[in-house]
Amino acid sequence: MNEPIERESLSARQPQDEPASDVETRRATEPFLFQVLTLFREVFDAYLSASILGKAQQRERLRVEYIDIRDFTFDRHRTVDDTPFGGGSGMVMKPEPLALAIEAARAKRPSKVVLLTPAGRPLRSHLAQEWSTQEGLILVCGRYEGIDERIAEYFCDEQVSIGDYVLTGGELGAMAIIDAVSRFIPGVLGNDQSPLDESMVDGCLEYPHYTRPREFRGHDIPDVLLSGDHQKIADWRRQQSLLRTRARRPDLFSQIALSSRDRWLLNEADHGPGASENER
């Protein structure tokens, strides 16, 4: 029987914290590094090599590397899973290959280790923005019935979910994190202000967008967008963002710290123009 993984042994395996100056130097001179631990590396190629993410890698704003968990097995069948203690259906990913793969990733670049799991906390925009200020992430993609809990508890810094549903593995979640984080890395988007204006950054859904033609099959765009009045356009966009969030995501809306201007815009929408003139 394999020896259990002890909490005390973890600190001995993990690299020591680097001086802050070394970290800052690397962030300034090297691309953001995503290290993905997976059994199915090939599923990433088409998505991450296309469009914005592909160009960002060509410009060396970010780099994605893959670690095959099977490379850290020692039997001729390259076994990465086993039956669960206590019985039950399915197979559980073994701790030994995962621990060694995580240690190899951390040895290359000490980074936060994120496990993709339905049991994790929800991925939010503010979390992606926070991670983008670091020098890299290590993403662990589970499979089968999940991974040995000792890996989740002792070897991973974060456990994150991309939604209240179960997928066949963590690869789609890893791609979602790579995409979400990359948008906040300077130089990835054409306009570094763009991700700050997008949906979810301030807790609200994004306002509607329109482009040419002005009229499409009997449907016109809102007149305010053609007014040339930048303040009116900004007010309309904020109002639409608030209304969308209130209608579609009341859970998010309840957490928004509404400003007096926000309340005024909502009152105008609910009761008509001029309804809250005395609050202006």
Domains of the chain: which residue ranges? Answer: 8-182, 215-279
**Whether residue 12 has pLDDT greater than 80:** no
d(CA 217, CA 280): 37
> Is 53 exposed, middle or buried, given 0-12, 13-18 or 19+ CB atoms closer than 10 A?
buried
d(CA 24, CA 31): 12
- At 203-222, the pLDDT tens digits run 899 999 999 999 999 999 99
The pLDDT value recorded for residue 191 is 72
Architecture in CATH for domain 215-279: Orthogonal Bundle (1.10)
Mean pLDDT of the chain: 89
- At 131-154, the pLDDT tens digits run 999 999 999 999 988 999 999 999
Class of domain 8-182: alpha beta
- At 27-62, the pLDDT tens digits run 668 999 999 999 999 999 999 999 999 999 999 999
d(CA 37, CA 125): 23
Q: Do domains 8-182 and 215-279 have the same CATH topology?
A: no
- At 247-276, the pLDDT tens digits run 999 999 999 999 999 999 999 999 988 776
Single pTM value for the model: 0.83
d(CA 211, CA 207): 14
